[in-house]
Amino acid sequence: MVTELLSLRDIERARGHIEAAGLRFEDEYDSLVGVFDGTDLVATGARHRNIFKMLAVAPSHQDGATLGALTTELIRSAGYAGFDVFFIFTRPQHAHSFQALNFQPLVHHPQ
């Protein structure tokens, strides 16, 4: 179940999870969500306007369902905010995961 992360404790947990995945935590977001397995935060995602970012899923939960649930919640949140076009910035090696969710690459940059 995807949960909005609102408390300072949850935000700091999200920061740790995102940075452990090799990503940079960005303070500018409209919505920050996560997935818990018991008390463990196993996935995070954020939305700033119509851009989805800081999507990080623990290796133990990278079966597709968790990423799909996060993305669905971010789409719902963006829709309520009035957006109907969405963008995700991701590393090239993760693009296929988002293509499976009907996102299409617009630009590829060398790393």
Q: What is the pLDDT of residue 73?
A: 96
Q: Which two tokens stand for residue 12?
A: 């700091």
For residue 104, CA distances in Å to 61, 72, 90 come to 23, 16, 12
Per-residue pLDDT of the chain (111 residues; tens, 9 = 90+): 899 999 999 999 999 999 999 999 999 999 999 999 999 999 999 999 999 999 999 999 987 699 999 999 999 999 999 999 999 877 777 777 887 787 777 777 666
Q: What is the pLDDT of residue 100?
A: 77
Q: What is the pLDDT of residue 111?
A: 62
Q: What is the pLDDT of residue 60?
A: 92
